[in-house]
Each structure stands twice: as structure tokens, then as C-alpha cells.
């Protein structure tokens, strides 16, 4: 279990992020067209998982915007923005914002939060995902992880991109 805060109040997640150097756990996320996306679908590409509670909050929306900007310049890299939001909410947000360089994936079906150790176990966000970043190389190996200590803070974009 990891402990993170929300406005200074401590809460636990169900586990820990995958270890750097380990094989990334497979996942099953729901895309905006309601089809499934798995890690195997991105084999041969580097993957940045931008994980957050909900696109309907300021910091989460900012992380999607910033990764969208940065993704435009990345070679052979897919940025997947992961939350428990329904795919329709992600599509609405990305459409309204003109976001085209990231992929959205909903964890509302499946066990992504448990497999990656990021589901909140306690607190008012229980069941949602803790703000985290996981960078996976083209062979499926975890190259970088960050679980943001204070949920309202942004991730370290530069450190994530440097891991590529």
C-alpha cells in the first residue's frame, strides 16, 4: 500500500506502482468507442500512462492538456490518459479542448487500479485512481514511475519524458 494525500489528508491506495525494470502489468481499458485496449495493442511503441482521478477536476484536466502538447513531439510513443471516468466524459473533454495527441482509457470495467496499485482504498476518492505516471518502453518494461504525493499536485512531466 502507498499513502498519498488529498488537501493534506492521508489516504491509502490498494498497492504500489510496478517496479522500475519489471514487466508492465497488462491492462484492459475502455476506449471512447467502447472497445477494449490492452498493453499488447501498443507493443513496439513506448507508452506513457497518465493516471488520474477524473478529467472533471482542474489538475487532471491540466495533465491531459500538458501531455497532449508534449506528445505531439514524441516518436513511437503513445500517451494514454487513464481514469475511472466513463469514456463519454473523456471524449467530451478532449473534443471540447481540441485534444488529439493522447488516447483516453477508462478503468470503469476491469482491474487496472488494482493491477497498477493506484486505486484509492480509503478516503473520499475510494475506487478512483491516484495521480501517477508510468513510462513503459517498447518491450513492455517499466522505465519510470511516479505516484504524486499530494493528489492536487501535477506530475513531473519532465522526469517522465526524460525516461523515454
What is the per-residue pLDDT across 28-70, written as a single tens digit (0 to 9) for each? 999 999 999 999 999 999 999 999 999 998 899 999 999 999 8
Residue-wise pLDDT tens digits, 96-125? 999 999 999 999 998 999 999 999 999 999
Is 81 annotated as catalytic?
Answer: no
Rounded CA-CA distance 45/68 in Å is 17
Q: What is the pTM of this model?
A: 0.95
Give the residues across from 81 on adjacent strands: 50, 104
Identified catalytic residue from 60, 89, 136, 143:
60
Give CA angle at 88 (31, 26), nearest 5°.
Answer: 25
Amino acid at each position: 500500500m502507498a499513502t498519498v494525500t488529498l488537501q493534506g489528508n492521508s489516504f491509502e491506495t490498494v498497492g504500489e506502482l510496478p517496479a522500475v525494470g519489471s514487466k508492465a502489468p497488462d491492462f484492459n481499458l475502455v476506449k471512447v468507442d467502447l472497445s477494449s485496449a490492452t498493453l499488447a495493442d501498443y507493443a513496439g511503441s513506448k507508452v506513457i500512462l497518465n493516471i488520474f482521478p477524473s478529467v472533471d477536476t482542474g489538475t487532471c484536466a491540466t495533465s491531459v492538456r500538458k501531455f497532449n502538447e508534449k506528445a505531439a513531439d514524441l516518436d513511437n510513443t503513445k500517451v494514454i490518459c487513464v481514469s475511472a471516468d466513463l469514456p463519454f466524459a473523456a471524449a467530451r473533454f478532449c473534443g471540447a479542448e481540441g485534444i488529439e495527441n493522447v488516447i483516453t482509457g477508462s478503468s470503469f470495467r476491469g482491474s487496472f487500479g488494482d493491477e497498477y496499485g493506484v486505486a484509492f482504498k480509503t478516503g473520499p476518492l475510494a475506487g478512483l485512481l491516484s495521480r501517477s505516471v508510468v513510462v513503459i518502453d517498447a518491450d513492455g518494461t517499466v522505465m519510470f514511475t511516479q505516484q504524486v504525493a499530494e493528489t492536487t499536485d501535477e506530475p513531473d512531466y519532465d522526469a517522465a519524458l526524460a525516461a523515454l
